[in-house]
Structure 1
Amino acid sequence: MMGPVLAACLLIILSTAWISQANGATCKKDGGVCTCNDQTKNVDCSSKGLTAIPINIPTDTDNLKLDYNKLSSLPSNVFHNLKELTNLNLQYNELQALPVGVFDHLVSLDKLVLNYNKLKSLPPKIFDKLTKLTLLYLDTNKLQSLPHGVFDKLTELKTLHLLNNQLRSVPEGAFDKLQNIKDLRLEENPWDCTCNDILYMAKWLKKKQDEGLGGVDTAGCEEGGKAVLEITEEEAAEDCVYPNTTTAIPTTIITTLASSNDDDIPELPVPQENFQKFLGYQEPDHLPTQPQCLMSISGYLGLMMSLVLTSAAILYVIHFLKKA
């Protein structure tokens, strides 16, 4: 009877090794590119030239550093297994857009660092699930506008950095739910103080200045050098409409085409690059780096070896059970 028992033990050991190989490929100790600390639950993937986030990041990770890489996009489900994460650092990458729902499972997140990227816009509700967030860095991007209510769920937020973007105004009520905000950085944006869209921000900043909010007096108008919080209704009297960040077809062209016969419609050349961007297609900017390729190859080889050994152990168990 010892034969089947030994075989069963061997099967358990091999299965454990296989799971460890499959789940640990991110860390250097298992052939990955990142440094993992089991005691502190930190995973450091900084400065690795990564063009994609490594797979199988440990699910109990508390602090994930992905800064100083070449990430230009994120899969929408890339962080879905990291519910214990409290600190996510993505600064100094090449992110151009954030997919809807990418942060929705990070319910324990306390700090989110996204500065020094190339973000032009934010999806609506992108931060709605991050109700424990206390720090959010969005500075030094290319943000041209903010969605309505984008910060409404961040009632615990204490630090918000929006400096060095392309913002000309903020939506009405953008900061109203930031009850615990202590540090708000808004400078180095082209704030348009001639349009009445700026009045909400001016009044809110003027009110918060008396409460000791940091950074409020550094937000200056694009023209004239006057502080935004000093702008009056007389100075910001114009109704301004800012162009959307997406490319729209002028109404006159649509009307002309709709009223013309098919034979009269001129054939407009459309550059292939623009057409692909319109459809949402993008060529990959970077090929996988050598460490990533090696990590993938070693992971697959380890997986195949584990499967072979596991199969052998199963056959061994069946053989002894038949004899028993």
Structure 2
Amino acid sequence: MMGPVLAACLLIILSTAWISQANGATCKKDGGVCTCNDQTKNVDCSYKELTAIPSNIPTDTDRLELDLNKLSSLPSKAFQSFTKLTFLSLNNNQLQTLPAGVFDELKNLETLWIQQNQLQSLPPRVFDSLTKLTYLSLDYNQLGSLPKGVFDKLTELKTLEIRNNQLRRVPEGAFDFLSSLSDVTLHTNPWDCSCNDILYLSKWIREKEGKVNGIESATCVNKKAVLEITEEEAAEDCVYPNTTTAIPTTIITTLASSNDDDIPELPVPQENFQKFLGYQEPDHLPTQPQCLMSISGYLGLMMSLVLTSAAILYVIHFLKKA
């Protein structure tokens, strides 16, 4: 028969196991999706083929790495719980866009990496809350334009990387508020130096030459340095296409004046039809690893509860006999 001391020890061991299981569900260190360090508050979720951000990341995380996954989109509230983050890396994913407000709660963020994704545009004011940001990398994306004022709140920014994109111009005043900037990469963009929109960038580079590293490398599509462009060379008043698609008025007039029998039936893309009906994709769906983690965590928790209950019943039974 098991003595009362041994039974009590068993109870303690099982209780500890239950507590460990509960803590493990918060951030697994061995065999889980992410690797966590309690001392440094670092969480590494890289190389995990994630299609969504794991839901079990501790909210006091200081450094979060989500590199080399399969993230193609982010919910607008993806990082709302991580108010203590100072470092966030989203490199080498498949992000095509960023939702408005996705970084609004990251008021302590100092470093943001979004290299080697597929971003074609940025939401207006997407970085406005990142007033402590010192390093921003948007290299190796497909950015065709920048929203006006997108960098206006980044007065502490020291390094800005936007090389290897599809930028032909930047908005007037795009860099005027970057008072702390010391390094910038602008090269390997198809800067269009035939349009007068380029004159702001050309003038800014000349003013910052010798003060900001890397600016001289910006070249036009004809290989001429952007800083050398004159008003005579950039004389055209170019209009660039935007992402807004409008129906030409001639088509509207024609359709309005036609008989119903003459109007052909046009196929409606499924995604447009869903938008018309107000359908929205859910912000977050659990990934397969997350589901497996949830199931295994639940089973482990249930097993611990069963064992703990058995130990308690045994102790009570033994005490009654005594």
TM-score by length of 2: 0.82
Counterpart amino acid of residue 101 in structure 1: G
What is the distance in 2 between the residues matched to 1:170 and 1:256?
38
Range moving further from structure 2, 291-300 or 256-265: 256-265
Secondary structure in 1 matching 2:299: helix
Contact 2:52 2:286 in 1 (8 A): no
What is the distance in 2 between the residues matched to 1:306 and 1:104?
40
Seen in structure 2, the aligned counterparts of structure 1 residues 196 and 307 have a Cα distance that, compared at 3 Å, is farther
Deviations 1:233-289 (A, max 9, x none): 1111111111113443334323333444544433223454675688887799x9945
Counterpart amino acid of residue 85 in structure 1: L
1:166 matched to 2:169? The reply is: no
Secondary structure in 2 matching 1:198: helix
The structural deviation recorded for 1:17 is 5.6
Q: Which residue of 1 aligns with 2:71?
A: 71
What is the distance in 2 between the residues matched to 1:225 and 1:254?
43
Counterpart amino acid of residue 37 in structure 1: N
The structural deviation recorded for 1:184 is 0.9
Contact 1:103 1:129 in 2 (8 A): yes
For structure 1, which runs of at least 5 residues remain unmatched after alignment?
Answer: 1-5, 314-324
Counterpart amino acid of residue 127 in structure 1: F
What is the distance in 1 between the residues matched to 2:165 and 2:68?
20
The structural deviation recorded for 1:118 is 0.5
Deviations 1:215-244 (A, max 9, x none): 11111111x211111111111111111111
* Greater radius of gyration (CA): 2
Q: Which residue of 1 aligns with 2:60?
A: 60
The structural deviation recorded for 1:71 is 0.9
Contact 1:18 1:307 in 2 (8 A): no
Q: Which residue of 1 aligns with 2:299?
A: 301
What is the distance in 2 between the residues matched to 1:22 and 1:121?
37
Q: Which residue of 2 aligns with 1:41?
A: 41
Contact 2:41 2:60 in 1 (8 A): yes
Q: Which residue of 2 aligns with 1:319?
A: none
TM-score by length of 1: 0.81
Contact 1:21 1:302 in 2 (8 A): no
Seen in structure 2, the aligned counterparts of structure 1 residues 38 and 287 have a Cα distance that, compared at 3 Å, is closer
Q: Which residue of 2 aligns with 1:3?
A: none
Q: Which residue of 2 aligns with 1:215?
A: 214
Q: Which residue of 2 aligns with 1:28?
A: 29
Contact 1:14 1:310 in 2 (8 A): no
What is the distance in 1 between the residues matched to 2:282 and 2:103?
24
Contact 1:184 1:215 in 2 (8 A): yes
Which of 254, 269, 282 in structure 1 is aligned with 2:252?
Answer: 254
Q: Which residue of 1 aligns with 2:191?
A: 191
Count of aligned pairs between the two proteins: 301
Counterpart amino acid of residue 52 in structure 2: A
1:227 matched to 2:225? The reply is: yes
What is the distance in 1 between the residues matched to 2:122 and 2:310?
52
Secondary structure in 1 matching 2:88: strand
Q: Which residue of 2 aligns with 1:124?
A: 124
Q: Which residue of 1 aligns with 2:141?
A: 141
Contact 1:22 1:303 in 2 (8 A): no
Contact 1:52 1:288 in 2 (8 A): yes
Seen in structure 2, the aligned counterparts of structure 1 residues 227 and 274 have a Cα distance that, compared at 3 Å, is farther
What is the distance in 1 between the residues matched to 2:21 and 2:176?
51
Query: Kindly, what percent of the aligned residue pairs are identical?
Result: 67
RMSD: 3.3
Seen in structure 2, the aligned counterparts of structure 1 residues 305 and 104 have a Cα distance that, compared at 3 Å, is farther
Seen in structure 2, the aligned counterparts of structure 1 residues 41 and 171 have a Cα distance that, compared at 3 Å, is same
For structure 2, which runs of at least 5 residues remain unmatched after alignment?
Answer: 1-7, 312-322
Secondary structure in 2 matching 1:256: helix
Secondary structure in 1 matching 2:102: coil
Range moving further from structure 2, 301-310 or 119-128: 301-310
